[in-house]
Amino acid sequence: MIPHPASALLISDLHLTPSMPLTAQRFFDFCEKDVKEVEAVFILGDLFEYWVGDDASSHSPFLQEVKRALANLSSKTKTYYMHGNRDFLVGTDFLKKTGMTLLPDPCVADIGGQVYLLSHGDALCTADVGYQAFRTWVRKSWVQRLFLALPIGWRRAIANHLRSNSHANYQRAANASFADNRIKTNVTADACAAILRSHSCSQLIHGHTHLPGHHQEHLGDLSWQRWVLSDWDLDHPEGAPPRANALLVNHQGVRALDLIKS
């Protein structure tokens, strides 16, 4: 399936959680107000800070509110969802109840008459060998079945432990060498070139790295454009300026939107 909307908004890396109420409210407003002029919305992963199974959402008033917002969004606008590294366990039950269509990663989309390759982006960070090994294991269906068979409390404890370890490792790496850490946590040209060549595309849109921007790149005889979606965070102004961006894609091309100022 190749989506063919004339116009679309693309977002990723909202990391929705009850502890970030301002970010969540901006997402609820987005679902209600910002999508009226486009034919489709693409959520390219990490909508949630973590996801431990569709059954866990029924125990959370916050996730129930998110579910209602997504169902409302899908009733007005075709909504596509791609798994991220935090929410790859979002399953068929949640997708059905929210009306979203799951996309593979990567996925080719024709938007406004232009062909784009869409990805969450974590699979492109091939310089981080340890993470790629971890990613391979947790994406195995039998590992996921074992995890989802655990009690919800255990799953949440494991998810919180993994998040804590990930943050601690990132901080240690950042303190050791900022430049090396930026290389390790960013996509590589080799990985981008490989998936673009395999899908016969020259335009790539992804999230994950929290390094929004537009890049003209090349490797060997292959040239491409790459757009990176921002993460969303309106709750930690002490760490960085509040941010909530989207990409508007239509027949005119790609344009970044600042959803805080809009």
Question: What confidence tens digit (pLDDT) does each residue in 46-74 have?
Answer: 999 999 999 998 889 999 999 999 999 99
| pLDDT bracket for residue 164 (50, 70, 90) | confident
Is the model's pLDDT at 184 over the cut of 90?
A: no
CA distance 102 to 96: 10
How much is the pLDDT for 72?
96
Q: Which residues make Cβ contacts (< 8 Å) with residue 87, sequence separation at least 6? A: 45, 46, 47, 48, 50, 51
How much is the pLDDT for 162?
86
Is the model's pLDDT at 101 over the cut of 70?
A: yes
Across the range 151-180, mean pLDDT stands at 72
DSSP structural state of residue 48? B
Closest CA to 44 of 245, 217, 188: 245
Q: Say if residue 204 is exposed, middle or buried (CB neighbours under 10 Å; 0-12, 13-18, 19+).
A: buried
- pTM for the whole structure: 0.93
CA distance 118 to 228: 10
Is the model's pLDDT at 180 over the cut of 70?
A: no
CA distance 37 to 242: 25
Contact of 195 with 188, CB cutoff 8 Å: no
Is the model's pLDDT at 218 over the cut of 60?
A: yes
Higher pLDDT, 170 or 200: 200
Task: Write down the mean pLDDT value for the chain.
Answer: 92
29-39: pLDDT as tens digits: 999 999 999 99
Element at 57 (helix H, strand E): helix 54-57
Q: Which residues make Cβ contacts (< 8 Å) with residue 94, sequence separation at least 6? A: 54, 57, 67
Closest CA to 248 of 227, 231, 232: 227
Percentage of residues in the chain having pLDDT higher than 90? 84
